Amino acid sequence: MDFSSKLLENAVYEMSQLPGIGKRTALRLVLHLLKQPKGRTDKLALALQDLRNTVKFCNNCHNISDTELCEICINPKRDATLVCVVEDIRDVMAIENTGQYRGLYHVLGGKISPMEGVGPQDLTITSLVHKAKNGEVKELIFALSSTMEGDTTNFYIYKQLEGLGVSTTTIARGIAVGDELEYADEVTLGRSILNRIPFEASLKAN
Protein backbone atom coordinates (compact mmCIF):
# COMPACT_ATOMS: atom_id res chain seq x y z
CA MET A 1 0.00 0.00 0.00
CA ASP A 2 1.10 3.50 -0.84
CA PHE A 3 0.51 5.81 2.12
CA SER A 4 0.39 9.57 1.79
CA SER A 5 1.53 9.99 5.39
CA LYS A 6 4.35 8.35 7.35
CA LEU A 7 2.34 8.73 10.56
CA LEU A 8 -0.57 6.88 8.99
CA GLU A 9 1.71 4.19 7.60
CA ASN A 10 3.27 3.67 11.02
CA ALA A 11 -0.09 3.48 12.82
CA VAL A 12 -1.41 0.98 10.26
CA TYR A 13 1.77 -1.08 10.55
CA GLU A 14 1.55 -1.30 14.34
CA MET A 15 -2.15 -2.15 14.21
CA SER A 16 -1.56 -4.87 11.61
CA GLN A 17 0.87 -6.60 13.99
CA LEU A 18 -2.14 -7.79 15.99
CA PRO A 19 -3.25 -11.36 15.20
CA GLY A 20 -5.92 -11.62 12.51
CA ILE A 21 -5.64 -7.92 11.60
CA GLY A 22 -4.42 -7.47 8.03
CA LYS A 23 -3.25 -4.21 6.47
CA ARG A 24 -6.67 -3.36 5.09
CA THR A 25 -8.47 -3.94 8.38
CA ALA A 26 -5.75 -2.02 10.21
CA LEU A 27 -6.27 0.93 7.84
CA ARG A 28 -10.02 0.81 8.41
CA LEU A 29 -9.55 0.81 12.19
CA VAL A 30 -7.01 3.64 12.13
CA LEU A 31 -9.16 5.79 9.83
CA HIS A 32 -12.08 5.18 12.19
CA LEU A 33 -10.03 6.54 15.08
CA LEU A 34 -9.19 9.61 12.98
CA LYS A 35 -12.88 10.36 12.55
CA GLN A 36 -13.52 10.06 16.29
CA PRO A 37 -12.68 12.70 18.90
CA LYS A 38 -9.07 12.63 20.10
CA GLY A 39 -10.15 11.33 23.50
CA ARG A 40 -11.12 7.97 21.98
CA THR A 41 -7.59 7.27 20.78
CA ASP A 42 -6.06 8.46 24.04
CA LYS A 43 -8.37 6.23 26.05
CA LEU A 44 -7.55 3.20 23.93
CA ALA A 45 -3.82 3.85 24.06
CA LEU A 46 -3.87 4.46 27.80
CA ALA A 47 -6.00 1.40 28.55
CA LEU A 48 -3.63 -0.87 26.64
CA GLN A 49 -0.51 0.62 28.22
CA ASP A 50 -2.02 0.63 31.71
CA LEU A 51 -2.86 -3.04 31.42
CA ARG A 52 0.47 -4.01 29.88
CA ASN A 53 2.58 -2.06 32.36
CA THR A 54 0.77 -2.96 35.56
CA VAL A 55 -0.67 -6.39 34.78
CA LYS A 56 -0.40 -8.90 37.60
CA PHE A 57 -1.05 -12.59 37.65
CA CYS A 58 -2.60 -14.35 40.63
CA ASN A 59 0.16 -16.00 42.67
CA ASN A 60 -1.94 -19.09 43.14
CA CYS A 61 -3.76 -19.79 39.85
CA HIS A 62 -1.90 -17.49 37.40
CA ASN A 63 -5.11 -15.87 36.24
CA ILE A 64 -4.85 -12.17 35.37
CA SER A 65 -5.60 -10.19 38.50
CA ASP A 66 -5.25 -6.65 39.81
CA THR A 67 -4.22 -8.07 43.20
CA GLU A 68 -1.69 -10.65 44.46
CA LEU A 69 -4.39 -13.29 44.68
CA CYS A 70 -7.36 -13.20 42.32
CA GLU A 71 -10.97 -12.86 43.43
CA ILE A 72 -11.65 -16.52 42.77
CA CYS A 73 -8.71 -17.76 44.86
CA ILE A 74 -9.52 -15.53 47.86
CA ASN A 75 -13.23 -16.38 47.78
CA PRO A 76 -13.83 -18.55 50.90
CA LYS A 77 -16.94 -20.03 49.28
CA ARG A 78 -14.90 -21.71 46.53
CA ASP A 79 -13.69 -25.28 47.03
CA ALA A 80 -9.88 -25.06 47.15
CA THR A 81 -9.48 -28.84 46.94
CA LEU A 82 -10.90 -28.87 43.40
CA VAL A 83 -8.67 -27.40 40.67
CA CYS A 84 -9.58 -27.02 37.01
CA VAL A 85 -6.53 -26.94 34.71
CA VAL A 86 -7.04 -24.63 31.74
CA GLU A 87 -4.91 -23.24 28.95
CA ASP A 88 -5.51 -19.53 29.32
CA ILE A 89 -7.67 -16.99 31.07
CA ARG A 90 -10.32 -17.05 28.34
CA ASP A 91 -11.13 -20.59 29.47
CA VAL A 92 -11.52 -19.36 33.05
CA MET A 93 -13.99 -16.74 31.83
CA ALA A 94 -15.91 -19.30 29.75
CA ILE A 95 -16.27 -21.70 32.69
CA GLU A 96 -17.12 -18.89 35.13
CA ASN A 97 -19.88 -17.79 32.77
CA THR A 98 -21.59 -21.16 33.14
CA GLY A 99 -22.03 -20.54 36.87
CA GLN A 100 -21.63 -24.32 37.36
CA TYR A 101 -18.15 -24.49 38.88
CA ARG A 102 -17.28 -23.79 42.51
CA GLY A 103 -13.63 -24.91 42.59
CA LEU A 104 -10.44 -23.01 41.74
CA TYR A 105 -8.47 -22.83 38.50
CA HIS A 106 -4.91 -23.30 37.39
CA VAL A 107 -3.96 -21.37 34.23
CA LEU A 108 -1.13 -23.15 32.42
CA GLY A 109 -0.43 -20.35 29.95
CA GLY A 110 -0.45 -22.70 26.97
CA LYS A 111 -0.01 -26.33 25.97
CA ILE A 112 3.11 -28.43 25.54
CA SER A 113 3.89 -28.12 21.82
CA PRO A 114 7.30 -29.24 20.54
CA MET A 115 6.31 -27.86 17.10
CA GLU A 116 5.92 -24.37 18.54
CA GLY A 117 8.85 -24.75 20.93
CA VAL A 118 6.67 -24.79 24.05
CA GLY A 119 8.02 -27.19 26.68
CA PRO A 120 6.78 -27.99 30.21
CA GLN A 121 9.14 -25.36 31.65
CA ASP A 122 7.31 -22.63 29.68
CA LEU A 123 4.06 -23.43 31.46
CA THR A 124 3.04 -23.14 35.11
CA ILE A 125 3.25 -26.92 35.64
CA THR A 126 5.86 -26.72 38.43
CA SER A 127 3.59 -24.55 40.56
CA LEU A 128 0.67 -26.93 39.90
CA VAL A 129 2.71 -29.98 41.00
CA HIS A 130 3.89 -27.97 44.03
CA LYS A 131 0.27 -27.30 45.00
CA ALA A 132 -0.55 -31.00 44.63
CA LYS A 133 2.46 -32.02 46.76
CA ASN A 134 1.30 -29.67 49.52
CA GLY A 135 -1.83 -31.81 49.73
CA GLU A 136 -4.07 -28.83 48.91
CA VAL A 137 -5.65 -30.54 45.92
CA LYS A 138 -7.98 -33.52 45.98
CA GLU A 139 -9.22 -33.49 42.39
CA LEU A 140 -7.70 -32.04 39.25
CA ILE A 141 -10.03 -31.47 36.28
CA PHE A 142 -8.29 -31.33 32.90
CA ALA A 143 -10.11 -28.83 30.68
CA LEU A 144 -7.56 -28.37 27.88
CA SER A 145 -8.70 -28.58 24.28
CA SER A 146 -8.73 -32.15 22.99
CA THR A 147 -5.88 -31.77 20.50
CA MET A 148 -2.63 -33.71 20.42
CA GLU A 149 -0.97 -30.86 22.35
CA GLY A 150 -3.77 -30.83 24.91
CA ASP A 151 -3.63 -34.60 25.37
CA THR A 152 0.19 -34.49 25.68
CA THR A 153 -0.04 -31.79 28.33
CA ASN A 154 -2.71 -33.69 30.26
CA PHE A 155 -0.60 -36.83 30.21
CA TYR A 156 2.59 -35.00 31.25
CA ILE A 157 0.84 -33.49 34.27
CA TYR A 158 -0.83 -36.81 35.06
CA LYS A 159 2.60 -38.51 35.24
CA GLN A 160 3.95 -35.76 37.47
CA LEU A 161 1.13 -36.29 39.92
CA GLU A 162 1.52 -40.07 40.22
CA GLY A 163 1.61 -41.26 43.79
CA LEU A 164 0.39 -37.93 45.20
CA GLY A 165 -3.12 -39.23 45.78
CA VAL A 166 -4.74 -36.57 43.59
CA SER A 167 -7.64 -37.88 41.56
CA THR A 168 -7.70 -36.61 37.96
CA THR A 169 -10.74 -36.16 35.76
CA THR A 170 -11.36 -34.60 32.38
CA ILE A 171 -14.38 -32.59 31.28
CA ALA A 172 -17.02 -34.58 29.40
CA ARG A 173 -16.79 -34.62 25.61
CA GLY A 174 -19.95 -35.28 23.68
CA ILE A 175 -22.68 -33.86 21.53
CA ALA A 176 -23.34 -30.22 22.39
CA VAL A 177 -26.69 -29.55 24.01
CA GLY A 178 -29.20 -28.79 21.26
CA ASP A 179 -27.03 -30.22 18.46
CA GLU A 180 -28.39 -32.76 15.99
CA LEU A 181 -26.73 -36.20 16.11
CA GLU A 182 -26.49 -36.50 12.34
CA TYR A 183 -24.23 -33.43 12.07
CA ALA A 184 -21.86 -34.43 14.89
CA ASP A 185 -18.36 -35.60 13.95
CA GLU A 186 -17.72 -39.33 14.41
CA VAL A 187 -15.08 -38.98 17.11
CA THR A 188 -17.34 -36.84 19.29
CA LEU A 189 -20.36 -39.07 18.71
CA GLY A 190 -18.27 -42.17 19.45
CA ARG A 191 -16.99 -40.70 22.70
CA SER A 192 -20.43 -39.56 23.76
CA ILE A 193 -21.70 -43.16 23.44
CA LEU A 194 -18.70 -44.73 25.20
CA ASN A 195 -18.87 -42.19 28.04
CA ARG A 196 -22.63 -42.35 28.49
CA ILE A 197 -23.90 -41.49 31.96
CA PRO A 198 -26.86 -42.77 33.99
CA PHE A 199 -30.06 -41.04 32.90
CA GLU A 200 -30.78 -39.93 36.48
CA ALA A 201 -27.43 -38.13 36.57
CA SER A 202 -28.33 -36.23 33.38
CA LEU A 203 -31.53 -35.02 35.03
CA LYS A 204 -29.56 -33.58 37.92
CA ALA A 205 -27.25 -31.65 35.57
CA ASN A 206 -30.05 -29.43 34.32
Judged by the rule CB under 8 A, the positions of this chain that interact with a second copy are 1-8, 10-11, 13-15, 17-21, 25, 27-34, 38, 40-56, 58, 63-66, 70-72, 88-90, 92-93, 96-97
Task: Assess contact for 166 and 157: CB atoms under 8 A.
Answer: no
Compute the least distance from the CB of residue 197 to a second copy, in Å.
28
Of the two residues 89 and 144, which places its CB atom closer to a second copy in the complex? Answer: 89
CA distance 46 to 48: 5
Of the two residues 90 and 196, which places its CB atom closer to a second copy in the complex? Answer: 90
Compute the least distance from the CB of residue 99 to a second copy, in Å.
10
What does each C-alpha distance from 128 to 97, 104, 125, 137, 143 come to in angstroms?
24, 12, 5, 9, 14
Compute the least distance from the CB of residue 155 to a second copy, in Å.
25
Compute the least distance from the CB of residue 2 to a second copy, in Å.
5
Q: Is the dihedral of CA 15, 16, 17, 20 positive or negative?
A: positive
CA distance 189 to 180: 11
